[in-house]
Amino acid sequence: MANLVISSSLNPQSRSRLLALIAFKTLKNIDVSVDWLDLADHSIPLCDGDSTYKNSKVKELREKIQNAKGILFAVPIYNYDVNAAAKNLIELTGDAWANKVVGFLCAAGGKGSYMSVMNLANSLMLDFRCLIIPRFVYSTGEDFEEGEVTDPNVGDRVSELAKELDRICMALSKQP
């Protein structure tokens, strides 16, 4: 069972995707089994609470999430909340999230919305009994330039979170 890094941005110049790529490379470099899911590469329907669950692409993404032991979820912050694509993915894949270890990588325009991921974290904890890593990476536009993370502290925090995901997943897998 692999860990999964999800990039939920649909923007081709996504800053949250840059964070996700750092996390993915960190997990690869420490020889952790890791899979990649970029929502920009998948055309999925908007959840209608009915027929969309039968969509073949939704079933594929659901299986990918189901097979992960831990998930790093990279989300852009728009208008003081995570993007709609992230929430839509959770709505479509539902209980595939059950009992996962989840960490968040956030890219926002400014410093004012640093708590914006908490509604999603609470939903994952309460609805699907996810274990949310109690630290997440929150970055702002100041941390990026010309399609790169320019603040070395941000890159270090992303790597630290990726390693923490692996550490927690490994500890939980040793439980009887």
**pLDDT tens column, 31-61:** 999 999 999 999 999 999 999 999 999 999 9
Residues 152-166: tens digit of each pLDDT:
999 999 999 999 999
For residues 113 and 52, which has the higher predicted lDDT (pLDDT)?
52
Residues 164-176: tens digit of each pLDDT:
999 999 999 887 7
3-state helix, strand, coil in the chain (%, to 5): 50, 25, 30
53-80 mean pLDDT: 96
Residues 132-153: tens digit of each pLDDT:
999 999 999 999 999 999 999 9
CA separation, residue 27 to residues 42, 49, 154, 164 (Å) = 23, 35, 16, 10
pLDDT over 80 at 24, yes or no: yes
Asked if the 2-173 domain carries CATH number 3.40.50.360, the reply is: yes
- pLDDT at 114 (0 to 100): 87
7-19 mean pLDDT: 97
- pLDDT band at 1; cut points 50, 70, 90: low
pLDDT over 90 at 66, yes or no: yes
Please, are residues 85 and 17 in contact by the beta-carbon 8 Å criterion?
no
- pLDDT band at 17; cut points 50, 70, 90: very high
Domain boundaries, the chain: 2-173
Report how far residue 56's alpha carbon sits from residue 61's, in angstroms, rounded to the nearest whole number.
9
